[in-house]
Amino acid sequence: MPDHPSRRRRPPTLAGALAITVLIGLLGGSAFAADSRALPADDAANGMIYSGLSVAKDGPCAGVLQVKGVTPAMCTHGPDPAPPGLSVKRRIQPLAAAPAAAPSALAVCDGDGTSGRRVEVLYVHGTTSRYAQYLETFRTLAEAVDVIFDESARETGGERHVRYVTENVNGACRPVVRDVRIADSALNANDWAPLLNAVKAAGYTRTDRKYLQFVDANVYCGIGGFAGDTRKTDANRSNSGPEYARADNGCWSAGVAAHELGHTLGAVNNNAPNASGAAHCVDEWDVMCYKDGPNVVIQTRCADRAHDQRLDCNHDDYYHTDPAAGSYLANNFNVADNLFLIRGGGSGPGPQPGQNRAPAATASASYTSPWESVAAVNDGAEPATSNDTANPRWGTWPNTGEQWALLTWASAQALTSAEVYFFDDNGGVRVPASWRLQYWTGGAYADVPGASGYPVAVDRYNRVTFGAVSTTRLRVLLQSGAGSVGLLEVKAFGP
């Protein structure tokens, strides 16, 4: 489901209406302050609802906005308008359920799925429930948010995953989606407080939770909690809960969900180098950047439009897994350090994969469609989606059954993990029913030992770790399901 997290509309915004004054590092860790003039008028058509918000002059929300009528104090940056292609008043259509034989899955899960700091996904509705109809949509969108956070981390040489509350679904680790019914009056109020209070009354108040709310209403596009705390410490308020991020049904998309969750995790503090002054950034393309005020000037510093699905253009404002000493993110709060994220492949700082060995290999395949290229599997081109049409790809249409893509090196490589990005055009080429990795022993192919599992998900890399092998060949063996099979990219890593 394509989406565009950057908001290009120009409704009245807090930045323009309040003449926000940026105060670097003042107000007890809050990065900016606003004067006491009136908030903008509500613009219901674009989901810009300011009713129920106030400009906080003191307390934990000093310098940002506060949701009135919620205890303890709930701070926010305010509402975000719908991005192009979405509308607050037009519902997103549900996705089809993943087949049991090839379920989607999170790339990394942590612990028992419930303990510790976690993001918990809520479907919030009134009298009418569409839980069964949209369950797969919510799971898939939450998983796509994780892809945004992890692929953005990989741009800085690291790995980060959203630590969701998870469960086993058909053998795959997937986010739990809670079914939360509240009164219709609270659901549809032109004010966030009634819904927040109703969700809290339902028991979603844990201090070790960020709650990602998919709300079945047409009031907002998105709105999220935002602490505005710049302190470089685990005690930063962005590291605690309960905190809430909301996306209404016209904006059920990965980009909007990542944007609002990003606010709850600490993006974007307004003393950052490219801050807009209202909790966003101005250097496109970027999930958290957009023109949020009439006097805000946008600069395109990451020209690839695909980065509209990634965090922190140039990684100098709010998200870097290893910032340089003396840089802004080395001295101020860094969302990549947020305690609600998994670092590496586990719950704490962990080893990162080594250099990708795949580009040095020669690619071959069981069969390649005449208009496709097997060289695509290790050409280093990063896919935007599983139906990426901008880059070369390997596909086997119309052939089905068992197919394979092979990487061959001139000398033996020590390997411990691999990642594959499936080609799926929702037509003749689909994700496989199953797949596995095999290595050349010198006389035959054998399955890699101790494989961590073989997830089958679209629009992201599917990672497998295994016991170390030394080999000159690594084969991705795919069994077709609903169509032919294909790959966009294969990566292979050593210890």
* Rounded average pLDDT per 10-residue block, the chain, 495 residues: 39 36 31 52 93 90 91 94 91 73 72 90 97 95 95 92 92 93 97 97 96 97 95 93 96 96 96 93 94 89 90 96 94 96 56 70 96 95 88 96 96 91 95 96 93 89 89 96 96 85
Q: Do residue 133 and residue 229 come from a single domain?
A: yes
Is the CB of residue 32 less than 8 Å from the CB of residue 228?
yes
Q: Do residue 220 and residue 367 come from a single domain?
A: no
11 vs 55, 107, 248, 252, 292, CA distance in Å?
Answer: 19, 38, 18, 20, 8
Answer whether residue 351 is part of any domain: no
Between CA 133 and CA 50 the distance in angstroms is 31
Between CA 6 and CA 308 the distance in angstroms is 7
Answer whether residue 1 is part of any domain: no
Q: Do residue 384 and residue 309 come from a single domain?
A: no
Q: Do residue 320 and residue 276 come from a single domain?
A: yes
Residue 14 confidence (pLDDT): 39
Give the DSSP letter string of 147-200.
Answer: HHHHHHHHTTT--EEE-B-EEEETTEEEE-EEEEE--HHHHT-SSHHHHHHHHH
Residue 99 confidence (pLDDT): 56
Structural domain span for residue 449: 358-493
| CA-based nearest residue to 81, from 123, 121, 43, 136 | 43
As for how many domains the chain has, the answer is 2
Q: Do residue 63 and residue 151 come from a single domain?
A: yes
| CA-based nearest residue to 209, from 160, 256, 245, 158 | 245
Give the DSSP letter string of 328-364.
Answer: HHHHS--GGG-TTEEETTSSSS-PPP--B-GGGSEEE
Q: Do residue 310 and residue 397 come from a single domain?
A: no
Is the CB of residue 308 less than 8 Å from the CB of residue 6?
yes
Domain harbouring 373, CATH code: 2.60.120.260
Domain-ending residue, one of 310, 343, 376: 343
Residue 9 confidence (pLDDT): 36
Answer whether residue 3 is part of any domain: no
Answer whether residue 95 is part of any domain: yes
Domain-ending residue, one of 343, 372, 390: 343
Q: And the tokens for 453?
A: 């599992």
Answer whether residue 348 is part of any domain: no
Residue 251 confidence (pLDDT): 96
Angle, CA 215 vertex, CA 131 and CA 252 arms, to 5°:
85
Angle, CA 382 vertex, CA 385 and CA 450 arms, to 5°:
90
| CA-based nearest residue to 484, from 419, 422, 406 | 422
pTM above 0.85, yes or no: no
417 vs 130, 229, 261, CA distance in Å?
Answer: 39, 37, 30
Residue 237 identity (one-letter amino acid):
R
Q: And the tokens for 429?
A: 């080429």
Answer whether residue 349 is part of any domain: no
Q: Do residue 82 and residue 165 come from a single domain?
A: yes
Domain-ending residue, one of 314, 343, 372: 343
Q: Do residue 310 and residue 414 come from a single domain?
A: no
Q: Do residue 213 and residue 142 come from a single domain?
A: yes
Is the CB of residue 486 less than 8 Å from the CB of residue 398?
no
Answer whether residue 106 is part of any domain: yes
Answer whether residue 236 is part of any domain: yes
Q: Do residue 232 and residue 155 come from a single domain?
A: yes
Between CA 362 and CA 278 the distance in angstroms is 49
Residue 306 confidence (pLDDT): 86
Q: Do residue 296 and residue 381 come from a single domain?
A: no
Q: Do residue 215 and residue 259 come from a single domain?
A: yes
Question: Phi/psi zone of residue 49: left (φ > 0), alpha (ψ -120 to 50 degrees), beta?
Answer: beta
Residue 468 identity (one-letter amino acid):
A
Return the SS3 of 308. helix
Give the ranges where 92-156 is alpha helix by DSSP (H): 131-154
